[in-house]
Amino acid sequence: MPKTTKPILYEDQKIVVEKVLELIKQEKKRILVYAETGAGKTTIATELISYAVKAGMPCLFIVPDEPLIDQTIKTATKFGLKCGVIKSGRKEDRSQKLQIAGIDTLINRKFPLAEIVFADEAHVSYSPTWRKVLEYYWQMGSVVIGLTATPYRTNPKEGLGEIYDCLVQAPQMADLIEMGRLCPFKYFGFPKLDLSRVRKTKGDYDKEDLAVVVDTDLACEQIVGEWEQKASHLKTIAYTVSLNHSDRLQAAFQAKGYNAVCVDGRLENDARSPIYAGFASGGKFDPQILISVDVLEKGFDEPSVACIIQARPTMSRIKYRQQIGRGSRKYPGKEYCIVLDYAGNAYRFGFVTSRQQVSLDKDKASAPGTAPIKACSRESGGCGALLHLSVMVCPHCSYQFPVRNKKVNYNYSMVALAPRVASGNTELEDWIAFYREVAQRSFKKELPPGNAIALFHQKFSATPAPDITKGAIFGENPSDNQKNLYRAYLQRQALRSSKDLEWVGQYMKLEFG
């Protein structure tokens, strides 16, 4: 094996590894690691495997798709690990302490000995095939570590807590952008589609019904026209409803002289490799646009992708976040990734940079809803950008949204502290508990920080004093990283509402003293 330089883990990755190791010491057998795109879930897993292999413990790494096998082998090689592969068409070597297996092959072969089992894309652990494999290893006393960037279920009656009993979280996408490890996004939308007559089957929109709405010449021409204006110089992935839809969109791009290639089930894996290589190199005669039906959502990692076209409406938060995650990687000269959301998915799930509420409980949060998003009106001279409801001036084209009078007008600006003091400890505890709840919710949901003060004033007819506001979000001993995250949040809010740095400083003082 050629010499390789072992990757150096980031501090947050080391923390995840330490937490998992501590749970294993506590004899926990069902551990779920939530690490979004860019957080390095395979790197985290391989570091854990390194510890296990050095201790003489056999490990099994299971993946749902063949491209993920090669990706995992590549990462293991960087760590200096030798591995066997259990996959149809590949020669097995079960003498190695690390075995990497495709689930479809593994289920039909003798299960290898493994003290620690890694289940990649663990949100699919509910399927009968996965459950059969995992139950076998639990009965054998093995530790099972699930890995996922999207810990959601389409069925809100299901929760991953029925499979895993411990959750370890890595930084979310918003944190990784703030840390400079992922690139930010710019969203642009189209007029909302009428999906009222589209049926729902198996937790998502019916493909045949969707095709009637989106698989049209007019729709494809609109997408290509918008792409020409916003992203004609960028490498792009487009996600479609069906093979016919892919072909129609490809024809629309080609009619304008652009090199677009369909990557879907009609292509064998061997035929895809040269397409991916050409797409990565970006030569004059190489494809600039890849059009996909259910292929390029996971296991495909090309950092130079700088535009994502969502031409397929979905009710799956997993599918939505996986698709946009393909454009999140940093790359030289890439300032941001453009998302052209023809499907209206952002209205259902919000921006991928919104903080996610993740738990092992039944997953009501993964269902689509109505996100606090609006479009910069093209009809009024705007650019079509999708923005948070609180934004009054579009940062892309400077369009000013009209101010509407509201029946209730909360004052989100700073106000003088009220002199009223709580009469007793019980009352003060109630005030602190309420303020902490609303302040944390405002922070997590990217709402203005003054929202907490307004709601507190509305409930108690008083303004919270420093002994109530200090440490409401991060506690008594905040880390430097937490302070930086909160300052970045305040800076975003300041830009949205035309506040200055003094305003940022006032809210920093309220939280940290």
Which of the residue ranges 43-52, 250-259, 430-439, 456-465 would you say has the lowest mean pLDDT? 456-465
Note the pLDDT of residue 424.
45
- What distance separates the 2 farthest-apart alpha carbons in the chain? 76
Which of the residue ranges 199-208, 216-225, 388-397, 401-410 would you say has the lowest mean pLDDT? 401-410
| 58, 97 Cβ separation under 8 angstroms | yes
pTM value surpassing 0.75: no
Give the residue from 202, 182, 226 showing the smallest Cα distance to 12.
182
Percent of the chain exceeding pLDDT 70 equals 90
Note the pLDDT of residue 290.
97
Instruction: Evaluate if residue 54 carries a pLDDT over 50.
Output: yes
CA dist 52 to 80, 100, 158, Å?
14, 15, 32
Task: Report which of residues 244 and 161 the model is more confident about.
Answer: 244
Task: Report which of residues 74 and 369 the model is more confident about.
Answer: 74
Instruction: Evaluate if residue 421 carries a pLDDT over 50.
Output: no
pLDDT in tens, 386-395: 998 878 889 8
| 416, 463 Cβ separation under 8 angstroms | yes
| 340, 310 Cβ separation under 8 angstroms | yes
What single-letter DSSP state applies at residue 70?
H
| 463, 418 Cβ separation under 8 angstroms | yes
Give the residue from 266, 345, 269, 263 showing the smallest Cα distance to 309.
345
Instruction: Evaluate if residue 476 carries a pLDDT over 60.
Output: yes
Give the residue from 100, 44, 118, 37 showing the smallest Cα distance to 301.
37
Instruction: Evaluate if residue 412 carries a pLDDT over 70.
Output: no
Structure-block tokens of residue 126: 């509910």
Sign of CA dihedral 137, 141, 142, 147: positive
Structure-block tokens of residue 12: 């947050």
Provide the residue count of the chain: 513
How far apart, in whole angstroms, are the C-alpha atoms of residue 275 and residue 294? 17
Note the pLDDT of residue 484.
84
Instruction: Evaluate if residue 502 carries a pLDDT over 60.
Output: yes
Structure-block tokens of residue 242: 């069906």
Note the pLDDT of residue 368.
63
18: CB partners within 8 A, 6+ apart: none
Which residue stretches of 423-479 are H helix? 425-444, 450-460, 466-469
